[in-house]
Amino acid sequence: MEPSWLLAGAALLLLLLLPALSPAALFQLKIAGYCALCLAASALAAPLCLLRHGGRTVRNMRIIANIVKTFKYIYGLRFEVQGLENFEVEGPCVIVSNHQSILDMMGLMEILPDDCVQIGKKELLYTGPVGLIMYLGGVIFINRKSTSNAKTVMSGVAQTMLDENVKVWVYPEGTRNGNGDLLPFKKGAFHLAVQAQVPVIPVVYSSFTSFYNPAKKLFISGKIRVEVLQPIETKGLTAEDVADLTERCYCTMRETFFRLSGTAREVNGSAPTSQQ
């Protein structure tokens, strides 16, 4: 029998067996498939980036985004986006958004503006095809272990951002958080914006919990509402203003998060922020 027929038969058998799987097994299968898809997409995008642009450049992010945008059709996700016009600022800026799960990459690539890169920890550079595609896309890698505070971490990033005239995307919560709220923000992104004297653009994604919840082994189709908020200017601000800027952005994004998610939760007037 031809190998292609064997693969087709195996795929058909898998489809027939899916309804019989337990929720936990089905969840793990979907997660494994998502990880495999990320690896395959990275392996596909890398040679395209090299052929098109010859090496590491932020322009490769457009190739990567176009590939990742197809993932939503596989997983039945729909995006409803508002405020894309707020990305239309001249020169560099710092974009901050909430960080919920491994699916955030799809949300990022769905609305990624031109000339925009992420900040990533240096360890990600050594994750095979994924690390390679991040490198080719111009991701700015930082070594968080060798620094003592956020201001020091971001000083080199600010210079890179200005020298290369790029927008930088940061997750100020610092880690994934799918608990239906926002974690207190770390101050690094806001130090970066103030040091470079560039605007901060908040981006808020609605809660994933109705369709993606690892605790409940839930991973189904769903809708994600996204809102790009108006830029917050930082010209004239100093390091002394970073704490206030961080809290203002946190409160605005948290209120927007609850509204987009349809959560009837009362929003605090203020919230503590991380010291990092």
pLDDT in tens, 165-195: 999 999 999 888 888 899 999 999 999 999 9
pTM for the model stands at 0.86
Determine the pLDDT at residue 6. 58
- The domain spans of the chain are 22-261
14-51 tens-digit pLDDT: 555 555 667 788 888 889 999 999 999 999 999 999 99
Low-confidence ranges of the chain (pLDDT < 70): 1-21, 144-153, 264-276
Q: What pLDDT is stored for residue 23 in this prediction? A: 79
Fold of 22-261: Glycerol-3-phosphate (1)-acyltransferase (3.40.1130)
pLDDT of residue 192: 94
pLDDT at 194: 95
- Give the per-residue pLDDT at 4: 52
**Helix H or strand E segment including 257:** helix 242-261
CA–CA distances in Å: residue 145 to residues 122, 138, 175:
10, 21, 15
CA distances from residue 142 to 120, 153, 263 in whole angstroms, order as listed: 6, 7, 35
Confidence (pLDDT) at 89 = 92
CA distance 223 to 205: 10
Q: What is the pLDDT of residue 155?
A: 78
